Chains A and B, each alone.
Chain A
Amino acid sequence: MNGMPAVEAPTQNSFVLLQLGRRRFGLAAGEVTELAPPVRLHAFPHTSPLLTGVIVRRGRIVPVYDVASALDASNTSTHRFYLIARRPIGKSSELCAIPVDGECELASAEVASPDQDHPPYIAGSIAVGDESVDVLNLPALLAFDPASGKSSLQDAEAQS
């Protein structure tokens, strides 16, 4: 699925397996738009957690998130692709890019409930062969602030 949209229509149990450092994570296939080649990252000063800059993809400006720092899965400096996903923001949504190491795979599996002490950005886990792969809750992950250890979604929920 490099550089082109997934051909198969994702089902509820379809997951894209992405490599971040030494760890693999799953992401609901319905959230993923494409896997893009490593285009140039444009960085500029800002104060938003996790963001490293923007890339230009298909004529659009797409923010890039260094989720590896939140997941404690140190990214290699030579990440090979950007996983492009759609992130809901308020009532709208926008594309976001996540640097990943290596190719991604598509897997189908049932999601098991996460551990009791799971961080907010883990939605559950799936079994892939002998491996148990954590499934990411993308909105919670992208709203996570590694400095505070909190997600801004949690703050929003607490206030409402």
Chain B
Amino acid sequence: MIRAATRIAGMILTLVVSSFVIFAAMYAAPGDPVTFLIGNPENITPERIAEVKAQYNLDQPLIVQYGLWASQAFIGNLGTSFQYHQPVAELMATRLPATLALVAIASVLFIVAGVGLGILSALRQGKRTDSTITAATTLAASVPSFVIGLLLVSIFSVQLGWFPVSGAGEGFLDRLHHLVLPAVALAVGAVAIVSRVTRQSMVEQLSMDHVEAARSFGLAPAKLVRRHVLRNAWGPILTMVALVVASMLAGTVVVESVFGISGVGKLLVDAINTHDFPVVQAVLLYMVITYMVVTTLVDLVHPLLDPRIKAKDKKS
């Protein structure tokens, strides 16, 4: 209980500091923040300057301004986009579904492939299959996701015509059809990480005495893996999967750019290019919050799922 409280307090503290960094970064920008906030030099008129100053409370000290911005953000008011002249919250709401769908499909792919290959690797430990899997996944993780994405488009969309070239699609099946390739591009790097953790965790469990005992009783290999190895090995695997999903939620920028998916990541890139600072701030804030909440949740839920950790905690 105390552990959970300190963990959550720590998360909130880090969140406050990082949101302050996101907010204050704008003031570190060279030049007058007013011109920076307006962005497009053509829009700089005395009226617009006065309007922006009032809107952003620029006459107040920085810390007060941050307080105002943060409290507004807390109740869901993220300001108005310069580019789209639309509330940022609305803008993000329209962009989120595509990003979430992309991450969901990618997660299914990397979990199935990563855990599957990891198990296979552990069972064939030291054999050719094992080294091939390690080498192949490491190699795949060394190719940048934008290169993988473009190769997939070239082969499966342009040459074979199996998938659309870009966009996120409408409706369930169409969206799935559109997002499979981007999801593969997003998932490839994660497969190496997850399969490595799975293999490691499985290998550790396989060398345990109780597994050896079960094997000597003649338990079928499949049952042995399911009942005695995987059951004890899945703690680290689950943690890693959650961490990867958390960073994926904030890591779709590149893949969305490659496949022209108008998700949150694409929104961020466009906002940077058009100096649409309220949008940049909001998207960064969203990504940092999501990442931190998910990682903290993993930390908190983990001992509930695995009693051994709780026991260890009590002892120390």
Query: Is chain B a partner of chain A in the same complex?
Result: no
* B residues with CB within 8 A of A: none
* A residues with CB within 8 A of B: none
